[in-house]
Amino acid sequence: MTRHLWAPWRIEYILAEEDGGCFFCDYWADPAGDEKNLVLVRGERCFAVLNRYPYNGGHLMIAPEAHVRRLADLDEGALCEMMRLTRLAEKVLSAELAPQGFNVGFNIGRPAGAGVEEHLHLHVVPRWEGDTNFMPVLDDTRVVPVALGKLWRQMAPRFAEEAAG
């Protein structure tokens, strides 16, 4: 029997926009739309946003302002800020959702599963024991927008608090 590593970001293709636009760039350029766009927190040059098609509650992404494909195209400052926001996400998600673990990772390039391969981003997926069993529930997309809005309202203030402190 073949056993597969559970890779939550494989579903990423769903996020790819069909009109050729880049939603990371659109979100960055529209601070007034942060609630609508589910942007949780902004740094100087990077931000965190809830994934609209989460594999788990609290699945978020961290992206730089820069529209680049590879880590090699990011400068030190942006790289460091991505990791600082990842640490912040770990902290806030731990406090708010009490996961038992996290998957944190990049898909770089199409064969690696990147859906939005033109704009580098990092996935943070909270994990709980046995959570793979409930993944098919996410097929029911009707409940997702409500849950995501609620999650955003719960988490965004905590991100702001922690980022300031």
**Min CB(118)–Zn ion separation in Å:** 6
User: Would you say 162 and 91 are in contact if contact means Cβ atoms under 8 Å apart?
Assistant: yes
Q: Would you tell me which residues interact with Zn ion (CB under 5 A)?
A: 22, 24-25, 67, 119
Question: Which residue number, 27 or 102, has a Cβ lying nearer to Zn ion?
Answer: 27
**Min CB(153)–Zn ion separation in Å:** 26
Catalytic: 121?
yes
**Active-site residue identified among 59, 119, 121, 123:** 121
CA 149 to chain centre: 15
Alpha-carbon distance of 16 to 115, in angstroms, equals 5
Question: Which residue number, 48 or 151, has a Cβ lying nearer to Zn ion?
Answer: 48
Alpha-carbon distance of 136 to 26, in angstroms, equals 30
Question: Which residue number, 67 or 127, has a Cβ lying nearer to Zn ion?
Answer: 67
User: Would you say 67 and 119 are in contact if contact means Cβ atoms under 8 Å apart?
Assistant: yes
How would DSSP label each residue in 149-160?
A: HHHHHHHHHHHH
Show which residues are catalytic. Answer: 121
